[in-house]
A and B are shown apart, each in its own frame.
Chain A
Amino acid sequence: MPSKRTHGWRSRKVIAAAVVIAALVGSALAASAAQGRTHDSITLTVDVFGDFGYHDLYTQYMASHPGITIKEDTEDYAPHHTALAQHLATGAGADDIEAVEVGFIAQFASQPQNFVDLRQYGASALKSRYPAWKYNQAVAGNHAVIGLGTDVGSLGICYRTDLFKKAGLPTSPAALGKMWPTWQKFLTVGKQFQAKAPKGVKFIDSGSNLYNAIIAQANPAYYSPGGSVIAATNPKVLAAWNLTMQAVSSGQDLGLSAFSNDWNTGFKKGTFATVTCPAWMMGYIQGQAPATKGKWNIANVPGGGGSWGGSFLTVTKQSQHPAEAADLVKFLTSPASELYIFKHTGNLPSEVPVLKSKSVQTFRNPFFSNAPVGAIFANSALRLTPQVLGPHQGDFQTAASNAIQRVEQHKQSAAASWKQFLKDVQSSGA
């Protein structure tokens, strides 16, 4: 029969029960409190990933628009887009304004019914502000404009001046820009580098980065302007692949994947001499390898222009206040806002007048040997005539990266890997 010990046990059960009740009551109260809303004000929710630099702009906007409160949510890059897809699929949970990166914009644009068509709120009038390619990336098949551009990645070549010197190469951006107007010439410079490079140092960090830079300039690339998949037959895709394979087989490629541990350590240890460099990479290098200050410089990218990254702001159909949200989007993406963000956060503006403005063109970065980074990146963005994006862009990109890695990791020959890449493209595109 019950021993005396059960009393202690019992009282624990009582406490547990009390916890349960208290918690249920507490959460019920909290939930009901959250539903209370001040009568006149509208709250707009903005969902971004990382830091878009909007904090001061929110303050400005709220000051000039009494009655509007802005709340920002932020997540890590990949979960942000995953959560957005899930919230769109279930019809609830998306914020009023959602940031979408260029890697995902095409697949969201393929289902435009989830977003407000910003043409209703005057987006068409803003078209001329943007480079055509940037504006068009957020235009759906039915011509709806689902987003306005926030920033562009642009592209340069960031290189280590000290390593170049050791290998007997010139170190000024002007000289280098002249030496590599095309990617083929870029690889020739690479061969020169490898001949006298310090032991263990390679010219290029990652075959995938090289490939992505080349394919980003191809027009058309994976998709025809009409929207059909032409990866298998487009000679430009094959050319990009062959150039990359050349880099791998000639021993210039270290074979890392971007954002991997070895890649990050590589910045600190100087195991690669060049990296394809969007504007946001500057901050990344500074954060990863602060001790290398002054050893970097930036030259123009071969092939004329480039872009890696860049985002858009969209208004979801789930928003209760689409008009106000659209207005906020227009404010956040206005030239004045983009210039402000450039000065304080470093994200490169996406609008032509801003890119051409004096503030941007004369901007220099002391970490990178005082290179005129503003001019370099702005002009690269302006010169770009990039590929048309399609809904399965991301998958093709992944398939290509994997294909290149398989060769770099000696798992497949270049020919076999290319065959598998084409098979993957076909099955993803289905």
Chain B
Amino acid sequence: MATVASAIPKPRRRTAVARRFDSGGPLTYLFLTLVVVGSIFPLYWSLVVASHTNAAVYEYPPKLLPGANLFHNLHRLFNSGVVNVDFAKALVNSAIVASVVTASVVFFSALAGFAFAKLEFRGRKLLFVLVLATLIVPVQLGLIPLYIEMKHFGWLNNLKAVVAPNLVTAFGVFLMRQYIVGAVPNELIAAARVDGAKTWRVFWHVILPAVRPIAAVLGLLTFMTTWNDFLWPYIVLNARNPTVQVAISDIATVAYVPDYSLILTACFVSILPLLAVFLLLGRQIIGGIMQGAIKG
């Protein structure tokens, strides 16, 4: 490794593992703060609305500070006399669906992504293009025929109908493949093969550790998109076995007009499990110490 100090015009304090740049100056923090404020504000405001009454939604100037109504609204949310939906059940259903789908997507995407990225086989290019092609079709129309299929399988109103079509996604395969192409040096695989490893061992011992950051990202994004999915669960599940987005849509207490303070309370409650998943997977995304796998 070349010595670092001599050629750099301005002396900078660098640690031994100079993987990252130094922490940024004030401009950097300003930029980041703006980004974060912009990202958080709508969420914050929905908390504000959730803690007021419905009339406060369209106030002008708009209310910016939380009110005292949050606990009252929370109580209404889980009270089946007020709301026709078992919100707690919806949370559990969504947790089950999102967990199963996430685990499945990450695993099978890594598998297929590895094959497309590092294995040679006939028709590889064509099959990969086929995978990409499946991304193109807009979801909305496919709902009807997919529903008919579920009717034939007997899976209506069942969580299986929401899980099964999403067990492997083209997005996941594509993402994994792109990452593995760039991030896993062929030398590593060659070394493993020289040691007698069959393809499965290569996958399990070389690829999986190497894709940890992207797997965490894929897991996070998949969990989130599954959690947020509305169109399909809305038609195939009913209000008695809902996922959380379906339940939120079912919370309407006035004839033609929604009760926004209650709805946003539900929205707010629904993201708490997501935040928990963030914290769990968040640290993985910055793989941290990767030196073991990649050596120049």
How many interface residues does A have (CB within 8 Å)?
56
User: Once the chains bind, are A269 and B60 in contact (CB under 8 Å)?
Assistant: yes
A92 to B159, Cβ gap below 8 A? no
Q: Is A90 a contact partner of B147 (Cβ separation < 8 A)?
A: yes
C-alpha spacing A379/B142, complex, angstroms? 48
Q: Which residue from chain A places its CB closest to the CB of B160 in the assembled complex?
A: A27
Is B249's beta carbon under 8 Å from chain A? yes
Minimum CB–CB distance from B51 to chain A (whole Å) comes to 17
Q: Contact between B100 and A20 (Cβ–Cβ < 8 Å)?
A: yes
CA distance A76 to B252 in the complex (A): 6
Q: How far is the CA of A75 from the CA of B263 in the complex (A)?
A: 12
- Residue of B with least CB distance to A77: B256
- Contact flags (1/0) for A63-104 with B, using CB distance below 8 Å? 000000001111111010001001101111101000000000
A129 to chain B: closest CB distance in Å? 22
A95 to B257, CA, bound (A): 22
Decide if A290 is an interface residue (CB 8 Å cutoff): yes
Total A-B pairs in contact (CB under 8 Å)? 140
- From known contacts A3-B292, A284-B254, infer whether A93 and B147 are also in contact, taking CB-CB under 8 Å: yes
How far in angstroms is the closest Cβ of chain A from B73?
15
Is the Cβ of A3 less than 8 Å from the Cβ of B252? no
- Give 8 closest A-B pairs by Cβ, nearest first: A3-B292, A264-B58, A50-B255, A73-B239, A16-B103, A2-B205, A90-B147, A23-B100
> Which residues on the A side are within 8 Å of B148 (C-beta)?
90-91
Contact: A83 with B234, CB < 8 Å? Answer: yes
What distance in Å separates the Cβ of B77 from its nearest Cβ neighbour in chain A? 14
CB-CB < 8 A to A77: which residues of B? 252, 255-256
The 6 listed contacts between A and B (C-beta, < 8 Å) are A6-B209, A23-B100, A51-B254, A76-B250, A79-B234, A309-B256
B40-73 CB contact bits vs A (8 Å, 1 = yes)? 0000000000000011011110000000000000
* Pairwise interchain contact A284-B253, C-beta atoms closer than 8 A: no
Mask: chain B, 106-139; 1 = CB below 8 Å from A; 0 = not? 1100000000000000000000000000000000
Q: Which residues 149-165 of A sit at the B interface, judged by CB distance below 8 A?
A: none
Beyond the given pairs A27-B163, A73-B240, A74-B250, 14 more chain A to chain B contacts, judged by CB atoms under 8 angstroms and listed by A's residue number, are A1-B192, A1-B205, A2-B205, A3-B292, A20-B100, A27-B158, A75-B239, A76-B249, A86-B143, A86-B147, A259-B257, A268-B58, A283-B255, A287-B257
A268 with B60: in contact, given A74-B250, A75-B239, A347-B255 (CB under 8 Å)? yes
Does A26 make an interface contact (CB < 8 A)?
Answer: yes
Closest to B81 in A: A55
- On chain A, the residues within 8 Å of B289 by CB distance are 5
